[in-house]
């Protein structure tokens, strides 16, 4: 058996939560390795719906959850999330959740700077969630971050806050935003320390032991490849690396940590926030996709932009993300369309491209090149075998496989956990 890493193969919101939940029942440990509470996974378990942002999805299946060092943690948001799901009957204790002691913290000043900079950008805003993710990663790279382990050392915390506030208060003041007082920030951190520290440990040791014992580790990615800070539609991206190769560095394991990589993609395409979206539909069809797919962000509630499946984009994500198999979700949303379109490339200033170039101007000018396919009139909702699917739906899936150059190994046909067609077991390697 092997480890499995799940990543988004578009711009996020592909339905990773259901797939993680489905696979978590067969894993021993579920690990978050990047991102922050700007990502969200919705899991439906019986009559209970869990909306998770920082907590690893495996917790709802009674699996050990690990938040790795590659995640930036808002301690206030995390404790609030734990309280919320605990009220739903989910036990989250130091026995079920472990947090890397070297993970950086997101503080209220990070969110304040995030919001102030977005406001200052005006029409050129990036479309961040305003939750401080980017500023927190900046502090990590600049070596001034407050980390989980610092909560156990009040003297260290006191000294590090001097440098942190010198930087952030200067920026906030320059943007005309309120500044922060050291005594207030210090007091709030010292107050939450005893609540957070019982979860902290060097998780790399636990994961090394799990590897030695041959346990199954499921790495749960946030956002998606096209939001990767290096490989995505920069600068309209998140502030971390979202590709599967980050699983090792974001958890304290080696380069072989990722195991088998499963990329999640919708049978159409959506995006939240600003940035290029070549196959976007600003018409009745796009609106219909959004209504049928209930396309609103799990964390922010923001309406998602909708469009046709972009095979050129997903092919790019497959290559740079290391995707070995594709999980295609929300096929049922396409039921009833007379014809469907698949983006197979782009026309940019009279030149044809099979990939989306890195330049901002080129991305903004990209016009989709479509291949038209026959739709289907019967329902695919709830299908659990190939025999349950219309011939046109099977043809659509097979064409996607050809275009993205990766097999569809899992097909999801409704939000329900068991409405899934499995062609290949990811844990089998």
Q: Which of 41, 110, 168, 231 is catalytic?
A: 41
Q: Is 419 a catalytic residue?
A: no
- The closest alpha carbon to 12, from 237, 203, 234, belongs to 237
Evaluate whether 392 touches 339 at the Cβ level (below 8 Å).
Answer: no
- The closest alpha carbon to 277, from 363, 400, 371, belongs to 363
Per DSSP, what are the bridge partners of residue 201? 100
Q: Is 41 a catalytic residue?
A: yes
Evaluate whether 104 touches 145 at the Cβ level (below 8 Å).
Answer: yes
74: Cα within 13 Å, side-chain hemisphere: 22
Q: Which of 13, 74, 139, 228 is catalytic?
A: 13
What is the set of active-site residues?
Answer: 13, 41
């Amino acid at each position: 058996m092997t480890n499995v890493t799940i990543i988004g193969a578009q711009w996020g919101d592909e339905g990773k939560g259901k797939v993680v939940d489905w696979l978590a029942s067969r894993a021993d440990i579920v690990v978050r390795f990047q991102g922050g509470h700007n990502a969200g996974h919705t899991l439906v378990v019986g009559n209970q719906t869990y909306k998770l942002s920082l907590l690893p999805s495996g917790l709802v299946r009674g699996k050990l959850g690990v938040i790795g060092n590659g995640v930036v943690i808002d301690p206030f948001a995390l404790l609030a999330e734990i309280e919320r799901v605990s009220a739903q009957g989910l036990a989250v204790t130091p026995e079920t959740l472990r947090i890397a002691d070297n993970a950086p913290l997101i503080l209220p000043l990070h969110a304040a700077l995030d919001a102030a900079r977005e406001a200052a950008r005006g029409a050129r805003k990036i479309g961040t969630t305003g939750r401080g993710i980017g500023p927190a990663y900046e502090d990590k790279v600049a070596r001034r971050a407050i980390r989980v382990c610092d909560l156990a050392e009040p003297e260290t915390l006191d000294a590090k806050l001097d440098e942190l506030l010198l930087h952030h208060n200067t920026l906030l003041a320059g943007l005309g935003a309120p500044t922060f007082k050291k005594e207030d920030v210090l007091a709030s951190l010292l107050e939450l320390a005893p609540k957070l520290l019982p979860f902290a440990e060097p998780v790399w040791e636990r994961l090394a032991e799990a590897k030695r014992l041959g346990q199954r580790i499921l790495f749960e990615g946030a956002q998606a490849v096209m939001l990767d800070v290096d490989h995505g539609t920069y600068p309209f991206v998140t502030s971390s690396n979202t590709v599967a190769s980050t699983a090792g560095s974001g958890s304290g394991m080696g380069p072989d940590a990722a195991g088998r990589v499963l990329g999640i993609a919708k049978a159409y395409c959506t995006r939240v926030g600003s940035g290029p979206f070549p196959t976007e539909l600003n018409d009745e069809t796009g609106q219909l996709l959004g209504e049928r797919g209930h396309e609103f962000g799990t964390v922010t509630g923001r309406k998602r932009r909708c469009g046709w499946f972009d095979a050129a984009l997903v092919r790019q994500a497959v290559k740079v993300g290391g995707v070995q198999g594709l999980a295609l979700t929300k096929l049922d949303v396409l039921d009833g369309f007379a014809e469907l379109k698949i983006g197979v490339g782009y026309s940019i200033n009279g030149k044809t491209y099979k990939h989306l170039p890195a330049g901002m101007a080129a991305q903004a000018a990209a016009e989709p090149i479509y291949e038209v396919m026959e739709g289907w009139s019967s329902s695919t909702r709830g299908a659990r075998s190939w025999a349950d699917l219309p011939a046109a739906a099977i043809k659509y899936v097979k064409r996607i496989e050809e275009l993205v150059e990766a097999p569809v190994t899992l097909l999801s046909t409704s939000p329900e956990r068991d409405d899934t067609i499995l062609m290949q077991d990811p844990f089998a390697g």
